[in-house]
């Protein structure tokens, strides 16, 4: 059953109780009828603003808004996160951070802490667990996945050298297991059309392609209602791929950077031990 089935069933029941067809509801919502059909079929989930409008139009007292509040993902990412689970191909360009689907637990924790310092520990743990659960599709559910990483993704030391070494090793393992395809755009390559933001493209067996572009605390999903925008995103992704190294050369770069982090971590450990010893002496003295 789709993860969105409870929401979809509730929407269909409330619409029918209100005596509205999908087309009539779409007119009141100022959306395309096909979008309402996607909501009720569980292929899409309304945005947070759409949920609030549904509550107003159907007089449901905040039911649909509460559904979204239970969701473990940020409102701007919700539709894209749900769509990942139904995709038969995902392609993603990452300019700064390792994509969420590829993140290790330690790396994900570092990213969340960087975004907000004052987490309640249980909330932080929940965010990390939800991110790792998304990645389960890479173990067999998702037939095809490709990622293009800016070299900056590898050079930005989230969590320190040991975390980065582990993170890159995880990506390498997925590549060697033929679960994903990864290419790296070298910093020396220069500009390309996708470099301004994170970009995700998703293909489905029974629905139009979807694109998702993310910025700071915001995201934009484009699908059948904006086919020209989806195509522009595809063109930008292709531009990044043209600028990237061949997969084998990208793998070699990943391995090189991983070893650099491992070497740095080994050299750093004696210094850390000395600092800790000095702190202990000062505490005792």
- Average pLDDT estimate for 185-208: 91
Output 70 or 250, whichever has higher pLDDT: 250
pLDDT for 119 equals: 84
In a domain, 284, yes or no: no
The range of the structural domain enclosing residue 66 comes to 5-71
pLDDT for 152 equals: 97
* Shared domain check, 202 and 94: yes
List the 198-203 sheet strands across, edge first.
181-185, 144-150, 89-94, 198-203, 210-215, 218-222
| 1 pLDDT higher than 50 | no
* Shared domain check, 25 and 123: no
Token pair of 64, please? 């649909």
What is the model's pTM? 0.73
Instruction: List, for residues 130-175, the tens digit of each pLDDT value.
Output: 899 899 999 877 889 999 999 999 999 999 999 999 999 999 999 9
Per-residue confidence band for 3, with pLDDT thresholds at 50, 70 and 90: very low
Q: Which of 16, 36, 71 delimits the end of a domain?
A: 71
* Shared domain check, 56 and 188: no
Per-residue confidence band for 2, with pLDDT thresholds at 50, 70 and 90: very low
pLDDT for 7 equals: 76
- Where is average pLDDT lowest: 63-77, 128-142, 260-274? 63-77
* Shared domain check, 91 and 35: no
| 281 pLDDT higher than 60 | no
| 76 pLDDT higher than 80 | no
């Amino acid at each position: 059953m789709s993860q969105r089935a409870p929401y979809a069933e509730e929407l269909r029941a409330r619409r029918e109780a209100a005596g509205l067809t999908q087309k009539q509801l779409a007119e009141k919502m100022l959306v395309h009828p096909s979008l309402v059909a996607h909501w009720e079929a569980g292929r899409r989930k309304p945005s947070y603003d759409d949920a609030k409008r549904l509550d107003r139009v159907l007089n449901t007292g905040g039911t649909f808004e509460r559904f979204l509040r239970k969701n473990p993902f940020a409102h701007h990412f919700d539709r894209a996160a749900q769509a990942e689970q139904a995709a038969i191909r995902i392609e993603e360009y990452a300019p700064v951070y390792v994509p969420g689907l590829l993140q290790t637990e330690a790396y994900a924790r570092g990213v969340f802490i960087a975004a907000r310092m004052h987490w309640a520990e249980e909330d932080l743990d929940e965010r990390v667990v939800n991110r790792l659960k998304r990645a389960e599709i890479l173990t067999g559910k998702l037939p095809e996945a490709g990622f293009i990483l800016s070299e900056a993704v590898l050079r930005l030391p989230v969590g320190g050298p040991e975390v980065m070494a582990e993170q890159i090793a995880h990506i390498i393992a997925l590549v060697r297991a033929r679960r994903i395809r990864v290419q790296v755009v070298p910093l020396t390559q220069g500009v390309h059309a996708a470099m301004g933001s994170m970009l995700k493209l998703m293909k489905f067996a029974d629905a139009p392609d979807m694109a998702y572009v993310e910025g700071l605390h915001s995201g934009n999903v484009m699908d059948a209602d904006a086919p020209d925008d989806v195509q522009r995103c595809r063109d930008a992704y292709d531009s990044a791929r043209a600028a990237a190294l061949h997969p084998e050369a990208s793998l070699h770069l990943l391995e090189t950077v991983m070893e650099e982090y491992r070497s740095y971590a080994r050299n750093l450990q004696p210094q850390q031990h000395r600092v800790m010893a000095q702190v202990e002496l000062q505490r005792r003295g």
